[in-house]
Structure 1
């Protein structure tokens, strides 16, 4: 298995590097604070998405969805088949792009590739959102996409639109509405139930095939309250903190490379098919 990075220290001066990425990819006139803008001018569909998401993502719902989907019996398909299957979906939770998912995946992967990161990380950029095929298995988008967060403990006010959690059945449940809820201090994210969605689903599909930093990028890239806001450090252990360095390295490529400039998918396919065949050949259970 490859080392986590080709670079001597890819995590050094991360904030400076992130600012440079905003300048370079791919809209140099769009400032960082223009991304993930959930203010008054947010598209109504995005606001309604989070209203539904926060109302229904409770402990009982998460347990039901894990039981339904984690046997991975929906279908068998290759990574490229999953990308093509997903290509009709536009993410209702995302205020920054209306491109198809395969175009967003290519934008992310190409930026990682251009910056000289290892092949497993380029692949991670390519596949990180493939869990959104849940939408094409009949799931509503509020149960698949958007920011993720722990359930079974108090909802942080640093989550997007926290006011909508007042309608969640766990909000007033004494078992779940304290900072630790049903968990022990610093128990580690492997022991935490996250809100259900595409991150956890794809992690379960590929967990036996990729390096640990890649799996953390996939599993927690939507956990903004954790990796951006440090809102759940009291539940995380030292291993989580180590892996979150990699999530933070990955996340700006996911976020800041979104633009209206469409990648040439067919021209890029041979390179990415070779990458898929190296790490995730053949078909996988979904």
Structure 2
């Protein structure tokens, strides 16, 4: 049995199992792969795998018959590893729905949904050690770290002599391990309700749903007497195990489906999540973990500091949080800021030309665009760390509500001020999206900030996308909410009389934007109320 050494909110430290404690679990590996590569792929995995492992294989291209594929498998002498072969064209999620049914999973402990372009070896990814950790923690879904993922909390980190497993609220679809009993519920209560035509085009969307769903299932098993050490996480990433995603994009249909098609796949998952009241449940489980703990544990590499909940002053907590920023995180953030500070007038002109008035998706639901912030993490934010931007905007919104801020403009800005950070999902460098802004070229006295030129980031992109819908003061607040010199009172001489009247709204936004940040925390909110606030100034659909 693994022993939990300490818990820092959602960071769980476990001792690694020794070799004689590894358990053999019945593992089903589901892979969708091109027909000509199928047999060779399974053969290459033989030496890596132990007993109790079977493959569920699918040819996604539909360019080979099942009988011919079985011949390839027989010729490579790997028939004993293959449970079945299917030929189902389209995205892999359609294969999951049609073939990985609860009866199929009945004989297995865990399902590994493995992309065929994942590179790993025993040195960086010892499978059975990894399985022992994941299964002993009783996490519903778990995965190794993945190089070059867009989610920083899923990337590799350097650890000392212990295994670090971090609870998260998103796991990607490239290499998750799902407990058999949880997969049965995911299939029975999720996949079967999504239309095959949607699943055929793209696998987007389920990664935003299954951690919330798993948390809902975990919460159903809790009682008032459940101790914190026995509350299983919904989703877990095991930090000292690593896989490389080669991103071969061997499935042309999904790659060329386009953003419209992919977002069309996200939509039913979002709607189904709201309909079944699972949205935000992963955050709720985290809240419950925090409420049931009698102490918070912080690990600084040398000693453990224990602080009773509520006993530490704000300054003490701030000091602890600063100590807890991982070294690799700070180094990466510094590198991004360094690139940002090398922006010059030509860079700003180039970025304006590249993104101004560019339609990336077209007309779409404002609410669904906002929910895409779940996919965005700011790698320069040492306060939020791996917390996504959806959680951040809800933190700002909730903090305003707690302080009895009732201004519709302020509450709306809490939700949409970082809308521009969605640009990272379309390939722009973090250095040109995140970070605060500074003045590159001074403006004219009293002529307005528009006469000055600042470094380029999400403020400008969000302003360009939303200004046609918003009152001028709100659009202005979005455009300059990261301009630190302005917030310090150093640029007031450039403001017009009208901008001076707008400044209090910007200052209010800035206060709650910066003072409400909390790592790994998603507030519980009334989503219908949030949608109502969002619709106060923005139409149901906007052009993005």
User: What is the match of residue 107 of structure 1?
Assistant: 395
Equivalent of residue 353 in structure 2, options 48, 67, 72: 67
Distance 1:145 1:34, change over 3 A: same
> TM-score normalised to the size of structure 2?
0.38
Equivalent of residue 412 in structure 2, options 104, 119, 123: 123
User: What is the match of residue 4 of structure 1?
Assistant: none
Superposed, 1:12-23 pairs within 5 Å as none
**Residues 1:224 and 2:484 are matched in the alignment:** yes
- How far apart, in 1, do the equivalents of 2:512 and 2:532 lie? 21
> TM-score normalised to the size of structure 1?
0.70
User: What is the match of residue 367 of structure 2?
Assistant: 80
SS across alignment from 2:425 = helix
- How far apart, in 2, do the equivalents of 1:273 and 1:280 lie? 10
**Residues 1:90 and 2:377 are matched in the alignment:** yes
- How far apart, in 1, do the equivalents of 2:494 and 2:537 lie? 32
Larger relative contact order (C-alpha < 8 A, sep ≥ 6)? 1
- How far apart, in 1, do the equivalents of 2:409 and 2:509 lie? 12
Distance 1:79 1:32, change over 3 A: farther
User: What is the match of residue 128 of structure 2?
Assistant: none
Does the aligned pair in 1 maintain the 2:408–2:536 contact within 8 Å?
Answer: no
User: What is the match of residue 190 of structure 1?
Assistant: 450
| CA RMSD after TM alignment | 2.9
Q: CA deviation at 1:131?
A: 0.4
Q: CA deviation at 1:89?
A: 1.7
Does the aligned pair in 1 maintain the 2:421–2:434 contact within 8 Å?
Answer: yes
- How far apart, in 1, do the equivalents of 2:508 and 2:365 lie? 27
Distance 1:123 1:30, change over 3 A: same
The structure whose residues are more often helix, as a share, is 1
- Per-residue deviation, residues 259-281 of structure 1 (Å, max 9, x unmatched): 1362356x532111122233212
Does the aligned pair in 2 maintain the 1:52–1:142 contact within 8 Å?
Answer: yes
Q: Any stretches of 5+ residues in structure 2 without a counterpart? A: 1-309
Q: Any stretches of 5+ residues in structure 1 without a counterpart? A: 1-25, 154-179
SS across alignment from 1:278 = coil
User: What is the match of residue 272 of structure 1?
Assistant: 530
- How far apart, in 1, do the equivalents of 2:448 and 2:372 lie? 34
How many residue pairs match? The answer is 227
Task: Specify the structure having the higher radius of gyration (Cα).
Answer: 2
Q: CA deviation at 1:139?
A: 0.4
Superposed, 1:1-286 pairs within 5 Å as 29-31=313-315, 34=318, 43-55=330-342, 57-76=343-362, 77-98=364-385, 99-114=387-402, 115-151=404-440, 153=441, 180=442, 183-228=443-488, 230-260=489-519, 262-264=521-523, 268-286=526-544
- How far apart, in 1, do the equivalents of 2:460 and 2:316 lie? 27
Does the aligned pair in 1 maintain the 2:469–2:539 contact within 8 Å?
Answer: no
